[in-house]
């Protein structure tokens, strides 16, 4: 079976400029979300440290923080982190269903969008 996403020459791949734009947007969205969830500045610092550390120490503290988040806030945070992972992988902005590029206007309105409008509509219809 042919891979859906081929490297480098893939049409619709977002440019480095867009990648950095959305990295900033997602960072901002995450900070705002955590502030809304009444997380203290000290805990926010811990969450930021998580990006740079993989040894798990900061992750444990983050989990304690996450326990205080409401379900929908935690889900939103997961979506933000998944979008950041897609940015890092290079498949950000590609529809997870059909593989076409998601419209930039849609991404700007909803940076965590995984589906193009057409696929999203189909999911909603069930
Ligand atoms: Zn699609």
Stretch (H or E) spanning 81: helix 71-89
Helices (H) and strands (E) in the chain, counts: 6, 0
State the pLDDT at residue 67. Answer: 65
pTM here? 0.67
Q: Which residue has the higher pLDDT, 1 or 126?
A: 126
Distance 99 CA to ligand 1 centre (A): 6
* pLDDT tens-digit map of 51-108: 545 555 544 546 666 666 777 888 898 999 999 999 999 999 999 999 999 999 999 9
Q: What percent of the chain has pLDDT over 70?
A: 64
State the pLDDT at residue 7. Answer: 45
Give the single-character DSSP code of 126.
-
Domain coordinates in residue numbering, the chain: 16-91
Q: Is 94 helix (H, G, I), strand (E, B) or coil?
A: strand
Distance 114 CA to ligand 1 centre (A): 9
Distance 79 CA to ligand 1 centre (A): 17
Q: Is 96 helix (H, G, I), strand (E, B) or coil?
A: coil
CATH 1.10.10 given to domain 16-91: no
């Amino acid at each position: 079976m042919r891979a859906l996403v081929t490297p480098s020459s893939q049409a619709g791949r977002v440019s480095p400029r867009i990648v950095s734009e959305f990295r900033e947007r997602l960072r901002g969205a995450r900070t705002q979300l955590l502030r809304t969830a009444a997380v203290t500045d000290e805990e926010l610092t811990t969450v930021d440290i998580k990006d740079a550390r993989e040894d798990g120490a900061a992750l444990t503290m983050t989990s304690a923080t996450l326990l205080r988040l409401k379900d929908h806030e935690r889900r939103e945070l997961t979506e933000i982190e998944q979008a950041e992972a897609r940015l890092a992988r290079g498949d950000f902005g590609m529809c997870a269903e059909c593989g076409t590029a998601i419209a930039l206007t849609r991404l700007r309105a909803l940076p965590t969008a995984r589906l193009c409008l057409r696929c999203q509509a189909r999911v909603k219809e069930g």
